[in-house]
Amino acid sequence: MQSNLSSDVIVEILMRLPVKSICRFKCVCKLWCLLISDPTFIKRHLNLAIIDKDIEHQRQKLILRSSSTPSLYHVECAAMTSNDVMAVKLHFPLISSFDKVKELKRIPNFYININRSLDDRVSRPLVYGFGYDHSFDDYNVVKFIYLEKSPNSDSGVHLNGAVHWVFARGKDSSLVSMPRLIVAFDFAEGKFRELPRPYDDAENVTAVGVLGGCLCWLGEQQDFWVMKEYAVKESWTKVVIGVPFLNLRPSFLKNDEALLVINEGLIVYNPKEDTHREIVIHGINGRGNLEIETYVESLVSLNV
């Protein structure tokens, strides 16, 4: 293919394009296909979204699921400027089979040898986490058994090369009146560590989240806490919102606004003006709690 543009200029243009467009351009010619599939180009394309907030927001999307249906949906983050948003159903072949999955890596089954009876091991919950290890430039899955039988957490949240959970401190007892801990697994060090909490007698905290690159401490009131400086106890800052909630999850932050999953709906909250507006999501089948994760689309392959 003839072009008046130099190869460096073409690379700079392609790096700024959305993933869907770039994938189509693999068919332009063999040279472009090799370029777009090159690990160096893939990493540069991803890193550009990390350092350029405008490009990050352009590629940022939400993946949604209602607790009443296994289907997955996605929404452009840029669409959140409107109060009415249409979700698009994703082709999700894992619902029925693995036959149509283009790339797949299975997590091997492994036996965790602990000094407990078989019945005791079976009754203990398995906890998973997924994240990026900068020391090896790779993605890892961590899987472990929580021996205390009372995790108050989910798959965890990734931040600063570690996955974070909330666990209850106690042994073989209920979650009532038990203080919560922030536990992180550092992929580079291969170790667990405890992070400081904003206050010690934390009994109503349900989870941690990430908002604007900061760790959040979430409860069941009208406020949550944000750790402005990672792992520094004194940097915890309380954020009070004028909406009561039983369940809250922060999503993304753009133009001083935060997208919050509250109870079974979405709001966009402006902390500076202490105002909020509700977002109505159309196109999702079923009712139930809304689960949302933010992601930045990329060309990263499981096999690279």
List residues bridging with 49 in a β-sheet. Answer: none
Place of tokens 């063999």: 30
Report pLDDT for 117: 47
* Among the ranges given (81-95, 161-175, 177-191), the one the predictor scored with the smallest mean pLDDT: 161-175
Q: What is the mean pLDDT of residues 141-158?
A: 70
Q: Where are the beta strands (DSSP E) in 17-171?
A: 60-66, 73-76, 84-86, 88-89, 126-133, 138-145, 157-159, 162-168
> In this predicted model, which residue has the larger pLDDT, 288 or 42?
42
Residue-wise pLDDT tens digits, 15-64: 999 998 999 999 989 989 999 999 999 999 999 988 888 888 888 888 88
Most confidently modeled of 36-50, 57-71, 201-215, 232-246?
36-50
Report pLDDT for 45: 93
Report pLDDT for 235: 96
Q: What is the mean pLDDT of residues 86-104?
A: 69
What DSSP state is assigned to residue 99? T
> In this predicted model, which residue has the larger pLDDT, 112 or 82?
82
pLDDT band at 94 (very low <50, low <70, confident <90, very high): low
